[in-house]
Amino acid sequence: MASEIFLLNISGQDKPGLTSSLTAVLSEYDAKILDIGQANIHDTLSLGILFQIESGKKSAAVLKDLLFKSYELGIKAKFKPIPLTDYENWVALQGKDRYIVTLLGEKLSAKQISEVTKVISEKGLNIDAIKRLTGRVSLVKQDSYPKASIQLSIRGAIHNKAEFTEKFMQISRELDVDIAFQEDTIFRRNKRLVCFDMDSTLIQTEVIDELAELAGVGEQVRKITESAMQGEIDFKESFTERMKLLKGLSESVLEDVAINLPITKGARRLIDTLKKYGFKTAILSGGFTYFGRHLQKELGIDYVFANELEIKDGFLTGNYIGEIVDGNKKAEYLQELAIKEGIDISQTIAVGDGANDLPMLNLAGLGIAFHAKPMVKDNAQSAISSIGLDGVLYLLGYHDKHIDLH
């Protein structure tokens, strides 16, 4: 028997029972629902129902009854007939690749969204859905930690991903917005392990620089640290040089520094939420286990791998115990933890800021350069520079209502 396809668009003030009332009318005529979607902005409803109905008396009657029901409910209804060829072309799109584009910032402007969606449009991609991930913003009360994030679900074939992401990086630099681009695979939605660098990532300081200040060699060590983080000198070489300069520092100084570590904004909120949803967490640091273990206890981290200071008679010897944890070693630990947890490497996330973090950032399923040096941002998969560490949760698609607030 011949049939027709219609797209019903509903708009108006939202109220309980709208969807139930409209689908009840469709059910009376044995309509087949082919697709349905709904959005609600400031209590204003936008509802779309794509349905198939028997041609003739049934199709005429159902349209009439839907119009009458919409009038009763105080909403507007529009109908659009969909040719079968158009419908089949739409169905064929479901085999196309899917991607997620996430925008992050203290606030998001129309210009930022316009430029990002322009790139998507120019590449012939379709935006299937747009979702706000952060909570509603008051225009009266000042927020001590402003943040905004939206997620775009897009579909289509991308022939040159490097060119695509470069355009996003350019927008990010020019308009001060973080833009993350990810393939929408089962692994994106099933991450299980998050590994963090410590210094300048989980904490807002470079501990070795603080120790150097207390040892009276601050300027010398800072220069070596910065050069290492920029990738200008080998990390192992820089580590050995800096350790020698700390010789003679009292262990009591380490304790004072550990107690006063400045934890990065959003870190507690991130770790608490990850724990709530069953993630494992790890510190993979070129810093020191002395401070990593303190953070482990403070934040509830599962694993810590870092460098072991040699302490004799209550003072640093200027040496270290065991193997130096450099960039390659961090990547090794990431791989080992994935095996230990019985997960695929694609289910891992790595977060860091320095050149020695790049091996693990590029190995992980999702590598995030956090308030990183330019060279690191340019070579990482994703970057967060505009908000705190809890921005990681938005890249995973979490909404504020799912996140523990602090």
Coil, helix or strand for 128?
A: strand
Check residue 261 and give left, alpha or beta (phi > 0: left; psi -120 to 50: alpha). beta
pTM: 0.86
Choose among 187, 183, 210, 186: nearest CA to 198. 210
Cβ burial, residue 394 (10 Å; 0-12/13-18/19+): buried
Of 30, 176, 178, 197, which residue is the catalytic one?
A: 197
Mark whether 199 is an active-site residue: yes
Mark whether 390 is an active-site residue: no
Of 199, 326, 353, 357, which residue is the catalytic one?
A: 199
Cβ–Cβ < 8 Å for 131, 184: no
| pLDDT tens for the chain, residues 1 to 406 | 689 999 999 999 988 999 999 999 999 999 999 999 988 888 898 999 999 999 988 899 999 999 999 999 999 999 999 999 999 988 887 777 899 999 999 999 999 999 999 999 998 898 989 999 999 888 899 888 999 999 999 998 888 888 888 899 999 999 999 999 999 988 787 899 999 999 999 999 999 999 999 999 999 998 888 887 777 888 888 889 999 999 999 999 999 999 999 999 999 999 999 999 999 999 999 999 999 999 999 999 999 999 999 999 999 999 999 999 999 999 999 999 999 999 999 999 999 999 899 999 999 999 999 999 888 998 888 999 999 999 999 999 999 988 865 4
